[in-house]
Amino acid sequence: MNWIDLRSDTVTRPSAIMRKAMAEAEVGDDVYGEDPTVNRLERKAAELFGKEAALFLPTGTMGNTIAIKLHTEHGQEVICESRAHILNYELSMMAWFAGCVARPIVADRGLLSWSQIEAEIRPLGPHSAPTGLIEIENSHNMAGGSVYPLQTIQEIAAVTHSRGLKIHMDGARIFNAAASLGCTVRDIAAPVDSVMFCLSKGLGAPVGSMLVGTRQDMDRGRLLRKRLGGGMRQAGILAAAGLIALEQMPARLGEDHAHARQLATALAECQGVVVEGHVETNIVIADFSKSRISAAQFSKAMQEKGILLNTISPTKARLVTHLDVSAESIQVAVTAIRQLLF
């Protein structure tokens, strides 16, 4: 069956151009720092993000894990939003590897403000663990792909730094955020200490994420990556696809965002279905608590029509658009939604 796969943008497959670049990639042993293609990708990412250095990683989870370890000490708290990926989808790596606990804050559309963060910052005391790090997710996956306004990031970072703390951004989909705001990733990254972003989601590379930050942090990060089993040797084969992802793919993300809005509009027109947030990027979260069918029933019925999506809770379904979902497929999905729910 030719599935229309809206489960995630992680399902994208490498293009013919990427596969050719992978086949032809110049490689060396990256644990010795000798893979020219990885080195080129790391230089390119650092340059694009306006940071001193970058690190090529197998996954976004490893990038967030390394960043949290870099910026904290054991026994500290990491302030994040309640639906953050680092808290809910990374197997407690912040506890397992960095010895930290999360201090989650519930925020409208998943977007924290400085005043919310300030109220949760703790000094070391006889009872409380001190705050070690502020983490923000941009775009925010489980809040429906919401995007931080630049000013909010600048405000949070300025006050975070004045308190002697660091701020890390889970920018798995930062290129979607930039496309939505009409700015560069450098603009978004400027106020924060480190950013993790993924090559293997909307940008279409088969594998890979990056961490960007200071030279000193990335040098330490390289050792942490090795500890986690992320020394990838002739990784230039993967980095070659990553370079194409960075150079060619960001320009087309607006298409995915338009497709997500089409799905959101169709869902919002259905009785009892509530679409979360403003649908600024490629993620649509629909709440079925007031609908005559549950999120699981919706997912099953869509699957019978050849359309895959994920439920993210008993009441909510998530639909993610990406480069392997064409305009025609979106029309098919919209028709299916109307047939099932209208």
- Tell me which residues touch ligand TLP (CB under 6 A): 8, 10, 59-61, 64, 85, 89, 137, 141, 170, 172, 198, 209
**What is the Cα–Cα distance from 151 to 191, expressed in whole angstroms?**
10
**What is the Cα–Cα distance from 40 to 238, expressed in whole angstroms?**
12
Find the shortest distance in angstroms from Cβ 207 to ligand TLP.
9
CB nearer to ligand TLP: give 295 or 341: 295
Q: Taking CB positions, which residue lies at the least distance from ligand TLP?
A: 60
**What is the Cα–Cα distance from 94 to 86, expressed in whole angstroms?**
7
Find the shortest distance in angstroms from Cβ 164 to ligand TLP.
26
Find the shortest distance in angstroms from Cβ 213 to ligand TLP.
16
Task: Pull the structure tokens for residue 75.
Answer: 């026994």
Find the shortest distance in angstroms from Cβ 320 to ligand TLP.
7
Find the shortest distance in angstroms from Cβ 81 to ligand TLP.
11
Cis peptide before 139 (omega within 30 of 0): yes
CB nearer to ligand TLP: give 175 or 291: 175
**What is the Cα–Cα distance from 249 to 49, expressed in whole angstroms?**
16
**What is the Cα–Cα distance from 284 to 172, expressed in whole angstroms?**
16
CB nearer to ligand TLP: give 42 or 170: 170
Contact 222, 208 (CB under 8 A): no
**What is the Cα–Cα distance from 174 to 86, expressed in whole angstroms?**
16
Q: How many CB atoms lie within 10 A of CB 108?
A: 11
Find the shortest distance in angstroms from Cβ 12 to ligand TLP.
11
**What is the Cα–Cα distance from 303 to 4, expressed in whole angstroms?**
9
**What is the Cα–Cα distance from 333 to 260, expressed in whole angstroms?**
11
CB nearer to ligand TLP: give 13 or 292: 13
Task: Pull the structure tokens for residue 330.
Answer: 């979106």
Backbone angles phi, psi at 5, to 5 degrees: -100, 100
Residues 6+ apart with CB under 8 A from 108: none
Residue matched to tokens 């086949």:
23
Q: How many CB atoms lie within 10 A of CB 187?
A: 15
* Residue at 96: amino acid letter: W
Find the shortest distance in angstroms from Cβ 125 to ligand TLP.
32
CB nearer to ligand TLP: give 198 or 245: 198
Find the shortest distance in angstroms from Cβ 272 to ligand TLP.
26
CB nearer to ligand TLP: give 193 or 341: 193
CB nearer to ligand TLP: give 141 or 160: 141
CB nearer to ligand TLP: give 60 or 230: 60
